[in-house]
Amino acid sequence: MGETADRVSETHPTNGLDDVVHQRHRLGILTIAAEAKRVEFGYLRSTLDLTAGNLSRHISVLEEAGLVKVDKGYDGRRPKTWVSITGAGRTALADEMAALRALLARHENPPE
């Protein structure tokens, strides 16, 4: 078997991408949440340029998968929602980044 056939027979890096994590807005939520202890809903909404309803749906998908935790409370009299990444979320994000790095490496060093 030649080098090209060997590369084709190995598992392709895109097989490591997680559909829940890979969607761009959910990936954005996870990466922002990983940078802070917790992140406020309004910050995510404005940073990711999403409507409140659209952001809520993406957060629900991540929460159902166990990748984020949602806390509701008050900041003074104002109701607030905070999102934090879970241990499983950190692992899923790390796995996603590893798959993306493997995909990039594969294209930076194409078979001859």
**77, part of any domain:** yes
**110, part of any domain:** no
Domain span at residue 85 reads 15-100
| H helix or E strand, kind and range, residue 83 | strand 78-85
This prediction has a pTM of 0.83
Among 72, 62, 52, smallest CA distance to 26 is for 62
Q: Tell whether the model's pLDDT for residue 9 goes beyond 60.
A: no
Coil/strand/helix, residue 86: coil
Domains in the chain: how many in total? 1
Which CATH number does the domain housing residue 55 bear? 1.10.10.10
Confidence of residue 48 (pLDDT cuts 50, 70, 90): very high
**112, part of any domain:** no
**90, part of any domain:** yes
Q: What is the pLDDT of residues 27-46, one digit of tens each?
A: 999 999 999 989 999 999 99
C-alpha–C-alpha distance, residues 63 and 84, integer Å = 10
C-alpha–C-alpha distance, residues 27 and 64, integer Å = 15
